[in-house]
Amino acid sequence: MQQSPKRAPKQYPKPPEGTWTEHYPELGTAPVSYESSISPEFYELEREAIFKRAWLNVGRVEQLRRKGGFFTKELGVARTSLIVVRGMDDEIRVFHNVCRHRGNKLVWTDHPAEEISGTCRQFACKYHGWTYDLDGRCAFVLQEGEFFGIDKAAYGLVSVHCEVWQGFIFVNLAKQPTQTLTEFLGPMITAIDYPFEKLTERYYYRGDIRSNWKVFLDAFQEFYHPPILHGHQNPVMSNPEYKQQGFYTMHFQIDGPHRVGSTSGGAGGLLPPEMYNPIERVMRSGLFGPWAPSEIVTNELAPGLNPGNKKHWGLDSFQIFPNFAIVFWENGWYLTYHYWPMAHNRLLFEANAYFAPPRNVRERLAQQLGIATIKEYALQDCGTLEATQMGLESRVVSAFPLGDQEIMCRHLNKVVNDWVRDYQRSRAEV
């Protein structure tokens, strides 16, 4: 008979079924295959089944403050590049970054594969000078009379479905998405109503990592590994209690393809001084960010956060399918992660940290230490996950046990397989 995990400490109660995993019986409890993370053929399926059908976040409205503001987004996973632009009518639109004349990439500078941003009134192709208005309409064709009855109205940029939620710009590459963004995000995510627009101080990291996007993402959706992999980084992490008993997540919740894990907080500055590194004591900051709450923190937590309504809540890690995460911290700042697949064993990892604009040097330095700490942690993950990819690719082991603390990894694995199977089924029917 299969044994259920032993009881968790009483301060971390689990659902009536005894475990988080069994609370969601569709997940099962059997060891899991990671073939989906090492197979080039599966990656080809994911591109179509997931990345060309799900809503994908490509940025925030603050990146397009003015009319005519634009940025390009390289989506290698879908073999396309997008132009995201705020039109003269303030409407945000998204187009494939391809000139209708002979297919040249329309918007780029110096290096065709690099993303750019700026402000303009029209897009002009570098090749033969065709121009497009910000709403995508073809505005000018050089020597139009030389063409064979060309109708400019039929040669606008190819548009992409675009919707905005809480200032996050999402695209859907399907010809006709089967769900609106709100339907796709579902009740757990759309319950969030957070003052994102006030947190405009942005730090943007990116990394090129040799691992599958899901292998990498998995490390950012479980709190089982930090006391071990990151155990030396500060005295809190090397707390022998964590090393012996492990770390418990307070709350897990799953809604459709999305999931959240909530943990306790960093008790910024309230622990005995020896629990902090010297730099943390001077800068009053660390892994959980600045010790001083930002101006958005009030007695009322923003709607949708701390969905388990836990008393000593410190952070929520919302994982929005397929490759987007928002992490909310108790002291009033947030992080986003994007995991962009580049190949079955390579990804582009983006991390953005957003704070309230600092009012003085002390606040700025606290933010600086926070983001420097993120890098120290993230690079350890990067190195380790390249090693995990190698281990998986050896195919020496084909099924891996996941604990109850790894329920979010189990869920992603299942959702990805479900979406691919659904896509294959829909293709078979055609």
CB of 75 to another protein, least distance (A): 18
Q: What is the DSSP string of 83-144?
A: EEEE-TTS-EEEEESB-TTT--B-S--SSTTS--EEE-SEEE-TTT--EEETTS-EEE-TTG
Q: Where are the beta strands (DSSP E) in 158-271?
A: 159-165, 168-172, 201-209, 251-255, 258-264
Compare residues 161 and 230 and give the one whose CB is closer to another protein.
Answer: 230
Name the residue among 14, 301, 48 with its Cα closest to residue 174. Answer: 48
Joined together, the tokens standing for residue 375 give 């890098």
Compare residues 139 and 348 and give the one whose CB is closer to another protein.
Answer: 348
Compare residues 323 and 388 and give the one whose CB is closer to another protein.
Answer: 388
Compare residues 169 and 185 and give the one whose CB is closer to another protein.
Answer: 169
Contact between residue 163 and residue 181 where contact means Cβ atoms under 8 Å apart:
yes
Compare residues 49 and 366 and give the one whose CB is closer to another protein.
Answer: 366
Contact between residue 350 and residue 87 where contact means Cβ atoms under 8 Å apart:
no
CB of 19 to another protein, least distance (A): 32
- 36 to each of 44, 49, 154, 199, how far by Cα in Å? 11, 13, 41, 37
Compare residues 109 and 245 and give the one whose CB is closer to another protein.
Answer: 109
Q: What number of residues does the chain have?
A: 430
CB of 377 to another protein, least distance (A): 9
Please report where in the chains the tokens 């979010």 appear, as a residue.
Answer: 408
CB of 247 to another protein, least distance (A): 19
CB of 363 to another protein, least distance (A): 8
The amino acid at residue 230 is H
CB of 361 to another protein, least distance (A): 4
The amino acid at residue 321 is F
Compare residues 290 and 307 and give the one whose CB is closer to another protein.
Answer: 290
Neighbours of 387 (CB within 10 A): 11
Joined together, the tokens standing for residue 420 give 């691919």
CB of 367 to another protein, least distance (A): 8
Chain residues in the site for another protein (CB under 8 A): 201-210, 232-234, 277-279, 282-283, 349, 351, 358-362, 364-365, 368-369, 371-372, 375-376, 378-380, 382-384, 386-387
